[in-house]
Structure 1
Amino acid sequence: MHITSEQRLDDGVLEREFTLGEIPGTLWTPGSAAPATPAPLVLMAHNNGLPRREARLVARARHTAAYGYAVATIDTPGCGDRPRSAAADQARADLRRAMQAGEPVDEIFESLVGPLVEEAVPEWRTALDALLALPEIGGPVGYSGWTALGIRLAAVEPRIAAAGLFAGGYVPRAQREEARQVTVPLLFLLQWDDEGNPRQRALDLFDAFGSKEKTLHANLGGHTGTPWFELEDGGRFFDRHLK
């Protein structure tokens, strides 16, 4: 891991930009994090195609760091500061057009997100190795954000102890099957009026998870309307399982 910049923010959180080979990332650590008092880690991923510096993710990360957690995110292949993929960009454009026209989108979504998850998961595991090698960061590890990536990580990565997922009805077929293998505690956030994700599919996905402890929070509003107070509940969720 190569640290490319760092700054101490007003709330005492240390924000560091880093690279792992060609993978760019950002790490936020609370002022209390030190080798003698390592902070538990939360991996925070935005939905496919959105950069790690997107304002909503940065706000979530800083809030979570203020709770006493180290928070890290990386750009997915073809997103953010990574080289763009013409095929992925075309698939995103086709997906937007089909959704606006009310046309079937399953196959377009599968062709875009399925390969993205396959590429991203090994990179997130590499990042996890590097982050846990830092003396001021310790386990256990939580995950927050993009549902499809979170399902695969929680299914294959034993260091993930709890996951908060932003419910999406459109999840690749492989991840719908893998949901049964996920057994860690879950907090599943559902926007009841999400214009881009079928509600019933999200409810079916919640039912499919193999976790004995899983909680569904449903709020009125569209895709980006998750209430801010859910961050407070998310903090309490991670407190129960990571501290």
Structure 2
Amino acid sequence: MRFTSERRLDDTVLERAFTLGDIPGFLWTPVSASAAAPVPLILLSPPPLGLRRVYPRLVERARGSAADGFATATIELPGKGDRPRWPAAERAAADLRRAMEAGRPVGEEIIDALVLPLVDASAPEWRAALDAFLALPEVGGPVGYSGGVIALGTRLAVVEPRISAAVLFAGSFVPRASFEEARRVTIPLHVLLQWDDEGNDRQAALDLFDAFGSPEKTLHANMGGHTGVPPFAGEAAARFFTRHLK
């Protein structure tokens, strides 16, 4: 991991841009974090829109997490932002748009083609990034995960034992394979669902929540569309991490 820039936000948060190989990302830490006082880490998984576009949302969450005593980090997803184009994913996204514009049900083949390659490519990158983050003296465990392509969060909850708790956003399509993986998830979960999300299959999200094998799992559902998550929902997620990472 190579840091490419550094700045302070309001004298309370240190923001560092970095590259991990050819993968760009950001690491935010409370300025008080040090080798003598390392802080827990939350992985902020962005929506598949590119880091530049979602940066304001991510940095707002990073500021809140730093105030709670956590470091946060994010990386660019494959095929997004300045990373190389991914033609197969773009074709799958075009198939999805055509189906939705025509009012047709989104078939399992389209969902699998759109989501599974992203999950397969992203999960190893997140694990490599986690290796790099935890090698820093000011960053320690435990580790949480927050965000959303929910299939990616489900995969990481299964394959990455260093993740102790996860906040998952139920705002993306769920491939068939994720339901079987969900049964193997055992860490505490806090799942956010927007009830009127126009681009989400609500029933699939509810079925996935039911499939999770975690003894502790909470579904926080609110009225409203995809971008209408109320502030108090974020506050509840923050309290969840405080309970499980401190």
TM bracket (short chain): over 0.9
Query: Please, which of 180, 184, 204 is the counterpart of residue 183 of structure 2?
Result: 180
1:137 counterpart residue number: 139
Letter in structure 1 aligned against 2:23: I
Is 1:13 the counterpart of 2:13? The answer is yes
Segments of 4+ moved more than 3 angstroms: none
- Find the residue that maps to 1:181 and give its secondary structure: coil
Instruction: Say if 1:204 and 1:140 are closer, same or farther in 2 by CA, change over 3 A.
Output: same
Distance in 2, Cα, partners of 1:109 & 1:200: 15
Instruction: Say if 1:176 and 1:138 are closer, same or farther in 2 by CA, change over 3 A.
Output: same
Distance in 2, Cα, partners of 1:11 & 1:191: 34
Distance in 2, Cα, partners of 1:11 & 1:175: 41
Residue 92 of structure 1 deviates from its aligned partner by: 1.5
Residue 2 of structure 1 deviates from its aligned partner by: 0.3
2:62 counterpart residue number: 61
Greater Cα shift, 81-90 or 18-27: 81-90
8 Å CA contact retained: 1:169, 1:200: no
Query: Where do 1:8-157 residues align within 5 Å?
Result: 8-10=8-10, 12-47=12-47, 49-53=48-52, 54=54, 55-105=56-106, 106-146=108-148, 147-157=150-160
Deviations 1:158-211 (A, max 9, x none): 000000000146211221210000000000001010111121111111110000
Equivalent pairs counted in the alignment come to: 242
8 Å CA contact retained: 1:141, 1:160: yes
Residue 11 of structure 1 deviates from its aligned partner by: 5.1
Identity %: 69
Residue 98 of structure 1 deviates from its aligned partner by: 1.4
Instruction: Say if 1:195 and 1:31 are closer, same or farther in 2 by CA, change over 3 A.
Output: same
Letter in structure 1 aligned against 2:140: G
- Find the residue that maps to 2:51 and give its secondary structure: coil
- Find the residue that maps to 2:197 and give its secondary structure: coil
- Find the residue that maps to 1:229 and give its secondary structure: helix
Distance in 1, Cα, partners of 2:59 & 2:83: 18
8 Å CA contact retained: 1:11, 1:66: no
Residue 32 of structure 1 deviates from its aligned partner by: 1.9
Deviations 1:39-89 (A, max 9, x none): 100001122x22223132332223222221110000111012211112222
Is 1:226 the counterpart of 2:225? The answer is no
Unmatched segments (≥5 aa) in structure 1: none
Query: Where do 1:157-196 residues align within 5 Å?
Result: 157-168=160-171, 170-196=173-199
TM-score (norm 2): 0.94
Greater Cα shift, 191-200 or 129-138: 191-200
2:215 counterpart residue number: 212
